[in-house]
Amino acid sequence: MRNNRLLTLEGHDLLLGWHAFLWYGGTKAQGYFRRHFIREALLLNWQKIKKQCYMKIPTWVSTTEAFSYAIIYKKEQTVRYSEMLNDKGELKSMQAMTEQGISMKWFTYFQIKSRFDKDSKVEGIYDKPTELDKILMGKDEKVI
């Protein structure tokens, strides 16, 4: 932990993850997130892109990162909507996720389920990556 500027930019001391601020707007109690001038600029640009390119919630959003305290969960256990949704766009059962290799406690599953119900009713969730997602993720093949 030598480079404090980089750690501050990454938000190592945030109570909630970046997904809480990118997609859900964060909380009023965490106004310090926007006081960092680079994070503020990134967030303003992201909000413009979000309005233009995302009409629904994308599959890369992680509700566990957005609404869990960073102290409680591990980054390796971050689960995104793309991993939790079946082919029909419905949330998989806890047993199906366990068979897939995603282990979580029942309380976490019900938190995700309640957030999924709220998200799907209010905004809707994309069932596959958008064109912008494909561009940002890049292609698996290299072009010469």
For residue 71, the model assigns a pLDDT of: 52
- Specify whether 31 is located in the same domain as 75: no
Q: Would you state the pLDDT for residue 38?
A: 78
State which of 34-43, 92-101, 106-115, 134-143 shows the largest mean pLDDT.
92-101
Q: Is a pLDDT exceeding 80 seen at residue 2?
A: no
| Assigned domain for 142 exists | no
The confidence score (pLDDT) of residue 130 equals 81
**Containing domain of residue 119, as a range?**
64-132
* Residue 22 belongs to a domain: yes
Residues 25 and 74 in one domain: no
The pLDDT of 23-32, averaged and rounded, is: 64
Region 17-21: what's the mean pLDDT? 66
Question: Measured in whole angstroms, how far is the alpha carbon of residue 69 from the centre of its chain?
Answer: 13
Domain count, the chain: 2
- What pLDDT score does 28 carry? 61
19 and 71 housed in the same domain: no
Q: How many CA atoms lie within 13 A of 34 on its CB side?
A: 14
pLDDT for 100-136, tens place per residue? 888 888 888 888 888 889 888 888 888 788 888 787 7
Q: Are residues 69 and 46 in the same domain?
A: no
d(CA 101, CA 120): 24
Asked if residue 127 and residue 70 are part of one domain, the reply reads yes
Considering the domain architecture, whether residues 43 and 69 belong to the same structural domain is answered as no
- Residues 46, 78: one domain? no
Let me know if residue 143 belongs to a domain.
no
Q: Are residues 43 and 81 in the same domain?
A: no
DSSP, collapsed to helix, strand or coil, labels residue 27 as: coil
| Position 120 in a domain | yes
CB within 8 Å of 5: residues ≥ 6 apart: none
Is 0.75 topped by the overall pTM?
no
